[in-house]
Amino acid sequence: MTALLEAQGLTKRYGDQTVVDDLDLRCDAGEVLGLLGPNGAGKTTTLRMLYGFATPDGGRIRYEGRDFGELRTELKRFVGVCTQEDTLDYDFDVRQNLRVYASYFRPRVPELEARVDELLEQFGLARFAGMSPHALSGGYKRRLLIARSIVHRPKILYLDEPTTGLDPAARVDVWELTDQLRRAGMGVILTTHYMDEAERLSDRLLVLQKGKQVASGATQAILDELLGDHVLVLRADDPAREAFEAAVAAHGLRPRRVLHELHVPVDAGGLAALSAALPEMRLTVRPPTLDDLFLALAHEEPA
């Protein structure tokens, strides 16, 4: 089946720094692809290349098998973008934000007024329709940004850190709206710093570190691949800490300090070996999470 979006060898350089390096990705209709990685991993640059804001220095982007470089204007008609920054048009009210944004697309949005009404209802914005976006809370501004980005009925939506700065209730609202769009058959590419968000929303994850892809696939598969099966946890003030660190180092591992604890991701073999080496030690063993992965990536060099 032809992918909704397929990128191959995507590369972007600023000066002598390569910020996205030979990246391949794919997104199908009705799928949420989560782009994950610490600050500077290249998530936003990747998104910007995919929706045409930045020009790649290498690689190809195809929408439904058609080359984005050759059919840029035509294909941008099928792309929706919700940027990380608030780019709402504060010179207009909520309804006009949707109307005016639609005017930046051709072919024109059919039955625009009905479409605007539909979005105002769907996103819970109908009662604010005549108000300035200034009057909206952060959560409702984000709703309006997402509604605006799909006013022209795109097939794929880019959501760049859509819940940053929102309270928990507003975050859940955005998650539900994203899920609605996925169920309606839209492809969604999401970047986020929130691991729970990535895990809940994404069908697949693509993990970036310093512009390179370090893993791709379902959450559990990525955790297994990058972290192993378990995380050993020891309190940092444990009297046996030195012995623990020595045993861990002997297995080529390095504990990571997280507040008052030391964390060490290990596979099943590593767990057995460390248990044998430290028979008296009281260690907590738990499954790895995306937070562990995020912390690992933030502190390690890519392979």
Q: How many beta carbons lie within 10 A of that of residue 114, not counting itself?
A: 10
91 binds another protein (CB under 8 A): yes
Q: Which two tokens stand for residue 237?
A: 């003030």
Counting residues that bind another protein (by CB under 8 A) gives 27
User: CA dist 267 to 119, 197, 225, 230, Å?
Assistant: 48, 26, 10, 6
Between CA 199 and CA 267 the distance in angstroms is 21
Instruction: Find, among 64, 31, 72, the residue nearest to 157 by Cα.
Output: 31
For the window 46-75, what string marks contact with another protein as x by the rule CB under 8 A? -----x-xxx-----------------x--
Whether residue 154 has a cis bond before it, omega within 30° of 0: no
Residue closer to another protein by CB (options 92, 175) is 92
106 binds another protein (CB under 8 A): yes
39 binds another protein (CB under 8 A): no
Residue 69 CB, nearest approach to another protein (Å):
12
Residue 55 CB, nearest approach to another protein (Å):
8
87 binds another protein (CB under 8 A): yes
Q: Which one of residues 16, 39, 104, 280 is an interface residue with another protein (CB under 8 A)?
A: 104
Parallel/antiparallel/unpaired status of strands 230-235 and 156-160: unpaired
Residue 81 CB, nearest approach to another protein (Å):
4
Stretch of 77-85, 182-190, 271-279, 286-294 contacting another protein, by CB under 8 A: 77-85
Q: Which two tokens stand for residue 258?
A: 């997280």
Buried/exposed 173-187: b ≥16 CB within 10 Å, e otherwise = bbbebbeebbeeebb
For the window 133-162, what string marks contact with another protein as x by the rule CB under 8 A? ---------------xx-------------
Stretch of 59-67, 80-88, 109-117, 220-228 contacting another protein, by CB under 8 A: 80-88
Residue 240 CB, nearest approach to another protein (Å):
51
Q: How many beta carbons lie within 10 A of that of residue 276, not counting itself?
A: 9
In a 10 Å sphere around its CB, with 0-12 CB exposed, 13-18 middle and 19+ buried, how is residue 116 labelled?
Answer: buried
Name the residues that contact another protein, by CB under 8 A: 14, 51, 53-55, 73, 76-77, 81, 83, 85-92, 96, 100-101, 103-106, 148-149
